[in-house]
Amino acid sequence: MKKPITAIVLGAGHRAMVYADYSLKHPDELKIVGVADPDEYRRKMVCEKFGFPEENCFVDAEALSKVPKFADAVINGTMDEQHVETSLPLLKMGYDMLLEKPFCVNKAEMKELLDVVNEHKNKVMICHVLRYSPFYLKFKEKIQSGELGDIINIQTIENVSYHHIATSFVRGKWGNSEKCHTSMLLAKCCHDMDIMMWLMSPLKPVTVSSVGARMQYRSENAPKNSGTYCLKDCPLVDTCQYSAKKIYLDHLGSWEFYVWKELESVENPTMEQRIELLKHSDYGRCIYKCDNDVVDHQSVLINFSNGATGTHNMIGGAAAPLRVLKVTGTKGEIYGEFESNVIKFTKIDPDNENMYVEERLDIEDFDLDGHGGGDDNLTADFIKFVAGEEVSVSCTSIHDSVAGHNIIFLADESREANGELKFVDKQ
């Protein structure tokens, strides 16, 4: 019987724990043996949950790097701007790594990280979980089969719901680029751009242009007489669609791993405790009076080496979350909506009375809560990756992930230059 891959959790937040929890379902494949996190409560929680000794608990990556290597890999779920600085010392020690996306926040960081990975021959996989969803795998399968012919155009759309953008990208930790060092496109649409590059491979992008703006969540758009904190001084707390009371108190399960972080060490926090927290918490601020500076909508246009084009549209503030993918080829097209798990394959057929035939493609084992089944599939593939076994077509090695990240960096440069055309360096 082969031994399970051993791993240390670095940054015990929501995403890292999703991957770590795979070990509870598959102890023969993955074993969590340590944790590094500045929060004492989280260190204790992880230690007790996975049953390893307290000596394997560390306050951060630096402290972890001071002891001899004691695991095969690290699951790095730190914040975006910390990914490179926390990864470098551990990669130099020989750890393999499952690294949350985006794996860097600028081109300089990307080069620095790649140089270390190449030097030390680490196996590093990036958490582009959507590649592993049966939904997106169906698109890959159809493209590879040749049934679509040559690809002419690929379109992706991401509608970010009003409560998601309010929580994460206005009130939350990704709202200010100076604090998180991450653009909206990089933080939210890294998956979408990776999917586009993956589906279009081996074709290479040649040029990129992009436009976008922060249009909605600005102080001048605040309703008359609105306060600064929803539950402290705002008379519109019961009517505003962005009211912290409506989003977080009336829907307690909504965004709990962000909003109630300060209360996670409190057993069964009361409503009074939650109200008091929102009176001073970032998540209780008026949506129009925060320090956010990231865009709330952005469009990207890409030209590929064969003349095919790709577009991505991110629209924040939508009523419902939605990811749309449409790929058009010379023989047909495939269209899908991720949240509804609907995929339609339409094929040119001049012999049919409609002059085309349409087929609905069913997907089994679709789990929307787990990125369409992607979370567990990615973790399983990472285990194979580290073990040197054959991996899936979805494998997101750091070298595969470079293309999508580079497109985002160029797109943001273009947006800042009012849509100026940017040329992609040959790789």
CA distance 205 to 379: 29
What is the model's pLDDT at position 342?
Answer: 86
306 with 416, same domain: the answer is yes
3-state secondary structure of 238: coil
What is the model's pLDDT at position 374?
Answer: 87
Show which of 122, 156, 187 is a domain's final residue. Answer: 122
What is the model's pLDDT at position 257?
Answer: 85
315 with 245, same domain: the answer is no
CA distance 118 to 116: 5
114 with 18, same domain: the answer is yes
Q: How are strands ordered across the β-sheet holding 297-304?
A: 356-361, 342-348, 332-337, 322-329, 151-161, 309-318, 297-304, 205-213, 422-423
What is the model's pLDDT at position 373?
Answer: 73
pLDDT along the chain (427 residues), means of 10: 92 95 97 97 97 98 98 97 97 98 96 98 97 93 96 98 98 93 95 97 96 97 97 97 98 92 92 97 98 98 97 98 97 95 95 96 64 85 97 96 97 98 85
What is the model's pLDDT at position 403?
Answer: 95
Q: At CA 399, angle to CA 394 and CA 402, rounded to 5? A: 95
CA distance 377 to 370: 10
CB within 8 Å of 314: residues ≥ 6 apart: 158, 160, 184, 185, 188, 189, 192, 212, 297, 298, 299
CA distance 310 to 210: 12
CB within 8 Å of 92: residues ≥ 6 apart: 116, 120
**Residues 311/155, Cβ–Cβ less than 8 Å:** yes
162 with 249, same domain: the answer is no
CB within 8 Å of 418: residues ≥ 6 apart: 211
What is the model's pLDDT at position 56?
Answer: 98
What is the model's pLDDT at position 425?
Answer: 86
84 with 155, same domain: the answer is no
What is the model's pLDDT at position 1?
Answer: 54
What is the model's pLDDT at position 367?
Answer: 58
Condensed to tens digits (0 to 9), the pLDDT of residues 126-138 reads 999 999 999 999 9
311 with 264, same domain: the answer is no
3-state secondary structure of 312: strand
CA distance 162 to 322: 12
CA distance 333 to 325: 11
Q: How many domains does the chain have?
A: 3
142 with 42, same domain: the answer is no
CA distance 332 to 284: 49
pTM of the model: 0.94
Condensed to tens digits (0 to 9), the pLDDT of residues 189-233 reads 999 999 999 999 999 999 999 999 999 999 999 999 999 999 999
Show which of 68, 94, 122 is a domain's final residue. Answer: 122
26 with 102, same domain: the answer is yes
Q: What CATH number is attached to the domain comprising 345?
A: 3.30.360.10
What is the model's pLDDT at position 371?
Answer: 62
What is the model's pLDDT at position 264?
Answer: 87
146 with 21, same domain: the answer is no
404 with 331, same domain: the answer is yes
Range of the domain at 181: 130-217+292-423
**Residues 375/382, Cβ–Cβ less than 8 Å:** no
CA distance 296 to 213: 6
205 with 223, same domain: the answer is no
CA distance 322 to 295: 18
Show which of 54, 89, 122 is a domain's final residue. Answer: 122
311 with 260, same domain: the answer is no
